[in-house]
Amino acid sequence: MFADLTSKFKAIFKRIKSKGKLNEKDIKNCLYEIRIALLEADVNYKVVKEFVNELHVQMINENISESLSPSQQIIKMVHREITKVLGSKKSDIVISPKPPTVILIVGLQGTGKTTTAVKLANYLNKKGNRSILVATDIHRPAAIEQLKILAEKSKLPVFSMGTKEKAVNIVKAALNYVSNKDFNILIVDTAGRLHIDEKLMSELEEIDRQILPQEKLLIIDSMAGQDAVNSARVFCEKINVNGIILSKIDGDARGGAALSLRKILDAPIKFVGTGEKIENIDIFYPERMASRILGMGDVLTLIEKVESAYDKKEISRMNEKIKSNNFDLNDFYLQLKKMENIGSVEEIVGMIPGASRLNLNKMQYDDRELKKIEAIISSMTMDERNNPNIINGNRRKRIARGSGSQISEVNRLLKQFNQIKNMMKKRKFAKNFPFN
């Protein structure tokens, strides 16, 4: 996420730091490098121009060339400006005091619109709501089927009337259906297109005009860059979109769309899609995102993800096992499964402040390794998981065959497990781990 831009900012700040005090030429070069970094990240040129001009004004007003620590001052200024560009503060979903709340999901085909609708329903339900998805893509039967399949996996209800009825009538029927049901949120998945066309926009305008949804959320593929911004303008002009969800942000190495949308469209980014799983949707916090872009980590989001993966009983039980030195491979396996819910290894490392100083960000991460470890542990008997000390040479050969791995990989896993267990025993590791 934003890897290219992050590395460029780090290089710029490193050069500034090495100079100590800065003269006017140094400041001019710094601003030029920041401008180039943003343009190469595919940030809209008007946004870049305004960003650099504002930064220059701040540097002059705060006498940056006379500062004892100019590099820290500049980092603070850049962080402040990026936060401002991204929207300054988080923007919540508008929930109607008189249910149901209608959320209209719009966007081009291929942006992850349907998947995001399901992710949003799942997220809102975890917050105590009762959501129902409404299928209104009357132009593509496969889209309705896709919504049903995705929703079924998460045990989410779908209201559908096939492809014969008008989209606006389907929404009206859904509203009538929930009038005596226990649903307080309708998430309307609308038709997507490969490009903007009048038929699509007229359909959306009709729903907007007759239904008056509380939320009109535009799904934008973050990897589409400035093309995404251009297509988004049309949606904003036609139905006055009041929020944006950036999908596929985990695959966006540049970050241009995220840094352009808020300023260009005057609509807040409310959520970001951070992966393929149904849980991979996060509230968008501008200040936290600015920190991640500048390589400062995002410890608050990491804490929230950890807390959502563990309940108090699990934490207490695991803490007792650590205290009594009974932490076994079953527990180790359970923690791996929990880690999958928190995010990819690379994503977690990206949230750790100081990861770059420890060179953690330079390590190569492969989430397939977690799958391999799971396979090895799954090939063990319950006795072996409970007491890894009984795993001799013959058992290691059997485990390796059963998991499709090498004996050396089994040996490495057991060694890593023992190292972690020893750290826990000394209480050096457990102090900073979720279950304490």
pLDDT surpassing 90 at residue 323: no
Tens digits of residue pLDDT in 24-46:
888 889 999 999 999 988 888 89
Sequence ranges of the domains in the chain: 3-86, 101-290, 302-432
Q: Residue 434 — pLDDT band, cuts 50, 70, 90? A: very low
Cβ-contact 188, 213 below 8 angstroms: yes
Report the pLDDT value the prediction gives residue 269, as an integer from 0 to 100.
92
Q: Residue 6 — pLDDT band, cuts 50, 70, 90? A: confident
Q: Residue 290 — pLDDT band, cuts 50, 70, 90? A: confident
**Which of these ranges, 141-150, 166-175, 398-407, 417-426, has the smallest mean pLDDT?**
417-426
Cis omega (within 30 of 0) on the bond before 100?
yes
pLDDT surpassing 80 at residue 3: no
Q: Residue 431 — pLDDT band, cuts 50, 70, 90? A: very low
Report the pLDDT value the prediction gives residue 141, as an integer from 0 to 100.
77
Strands 101-106 and 215-221, by their bridges, are parallel
Per-chain mean pLDDT for the chain: 82
Q: Residue 346 — pLDDT band, cuts 50, 70, 90? A: low
Establish how many alpha carbons lie within 13 A of residue 208's alpha carbon, considering only the half-sphere containing its beta carbon: 19
Cβ-contact 278, 272 below 8 angstroms: no
Structure tokens belonging to residue 253:
């190495």
Report the pLDDT value the prediction gives residue 87, as an integer from 0 to 100.
87
Structure tokens belonging to residue 400:
């390796």
Looking at domain 302-432, its CATH superfamily turns out to be: Signal recognition particle, SRP54 subunit, M-domain (1.10.260.30)
Strands 158-160 and 215-221, by their bridges, are unpaired
Tens digits of residue pLDDT in 371-421:
788 889 989 999 999 888 899 999 999 999 999 999 999 998 888 888 777
Report the pLDDT value the prediction gives residue 13, as an integer from 0 to 100.
85
* CATH topology identical between 3-86 and 101-290: no
Report the pLDDT value the prediction gives residue 358, as an integer from 0 to 100.
44
Tens digits of residue pLDDT in 196-220:
778 888 899 999 999 999 999 999 8
Report the pLDDT value the prediction gives residue 426, as an integer from 0 to 100.
60
**Which of these ranges, 67-81, 102-116, 157-171, has the smallest mean pLDDT?**
67-81
Q: Residue 365 — pLDDT band, cuts 50, 70, 90? A: very low
| CATH no. for 3-86 | 1.20.120.140
More reliable by pLDDT, 74 or 270: 270
pLDDT surpassing 60 at residue 20: yes
Using CA atoms, how far apart are residues 155 and 181, in angstroms rounded to an integer?
17
Q: What percent of the chain has pLDDT over 90?
A: 29
Q: What is the mean pLDDT of residues 2-25?
A: 81
Instruction: Give the strand order in the sheet containing 185-189.
Output: 158-160, 131-135, 185-189, 101-106, 215-221, 243-247, 269-273, 281-283
Which of 22-31, 43-52, 187-196, 221-230 ranks highest by mean pLDDT? 43-52
Continuous H helices in 62-112: 70-86
pLDDT surpassing 50 at residue 332: yes
pLDDT surpassing 70 at residue 115: yes
Q: What is the mean pLDDT of residues 113-132?
A: 93
Q: Residue 361 — pLDDT band, cuts 50, 70, 90? A: very low
| CATH no. for 101-290 | 3.40.50.300
Please give the single-letter amino acid code of residue 407.
I
Tens digits of residue pLDDT in 190-199:
987 767 778 8
106: enclosing H helix or E strand = strand 101-106
Report the pLDDT value the prediction gives residue 342, as an integer from 0 to 100.
63
pLDDT surpassing 90 at residue 122: yes
Continuous H helices in 110-197: 113-126, 141-153, 167-178
Q: Which residues contact residue 57 at a Cβ distance below 8 angstroms, ignoring those fewer than 6 apart?
A: none
Report the pLDDT value the prediction gives residue 243, as an integer from 0 to 100.
92
Using CA atoms, how far apart are residues 401 and 388, in angstroms rounded to an integer?
17
pLDDT surpassing 60 at residue 51: yes
- Please state the pTM of the whole predicted model: 0.72
